[in-house]
Amino acid sequence: MKLLALSALLATSLTPVAFAADQANVLHFQGRVTSQTCNVSLNGNPGTTVVVMPTIAEAALATTGTTAGDTPFTLEFTNCSGKVNAKILFAGQYFNFAGRLLNTGTAKNLSIQVTDSLSNSIINFNDPNNTMSSQVDISSGTATIPFVAKYYAESPVSAGTVLASTNYEVVYE
């Protein structure tokens, strides 16, 4: 009886190991350890993660390649220590071949274009060499990186909601 109970215990305890070998059930952990960190906030509001863009008319985006709804926003660094620099590395979740963020809302034929206002360069989410913001000096303990988000007409736009997102990481140098 003890052998049967031990066999049943071993069989149930090995079941998760068998599933772990399947790649669909693999967890990946990634991170970074740094001696420098700052608090980062959107437009000076800790905890806010939404850039609210204006409501615009379909007619403003009736021509392919036009932009509208320019929306300035900032990522602000506070409580930084040490003489070090920082920049933002963006990783768009859904983007098109041109490197703009795809709309996952109901509006059709538009994307979101993000520009680094310090360098006046467009963030290209499809190009790993062009997803980094300008570098700022945080040695004073604070710094700000300004950006502009805008609607971009991939072709004539139809009305609806607009939703897009990107992950970001602070890179300290």
Are β-strands 85-92 and 121-122 bridged in parallel, bridged antiparallel, or unpaired? unpaired
| Tens digits of residue pLDDT in 43-99 | 988 878 899 999 999 999 999 999 999 999 999 999 987 668 899 999 878 889 899
CA atoms within 13 A on the CB side of 26: 6
pLDDT the model gives residue 54? 96
User: What share of the chain has pLDDT > 90, as a percent?
Assistant: 53
Q: Is the pLDDT of residue 11 over 70?
A: no
* Cβ-based neighbours of 37, under 8 Å, separated by 6 or more: 80, 170, 172
pLDDT the model gives residue 26? 72
Any domain includes 17: no
Any domain includes 18: no
Q: Is the pLDDT of residue 145 over 80?
A: yes
Burial bucket for residue 61 (CB in 10 Å: 0-12, 13-18, 19+): buried
The helix or strand, by DSSP H or E, that contains position 8, with its residue range, turns out to be helix 2-20
Q: Is the pLDDT of residue 137 over 50?
A: yes
Question: In this structure, what token pair is assigned to residue 94?
Answer: 């859904």
CATH number for the domain spanning 112: value is 2.60.40.1090
Count of domains observed in the chain: 1
Query: What is the pTM (predicted TM-score) of this model?
Result: 0.77
Any domain includes 28: no
Question: In this structure, what token pair is assigned to residue 6?
Answer: 């031990």
Neighbours of 26 (CB within 10 A): 8
Burial bucket for residue 129 (CB in 10 Å: 0-12, 13-18, 19+): exposed
Which residue segment(s) compose the domain that 145 sits in? 38-50+60-162
**Angle at 115 (CA atoms; ends 170, 127), nearest 5 degrees:** 70
Any domain includes 116: yes
Any domain includes 16: no
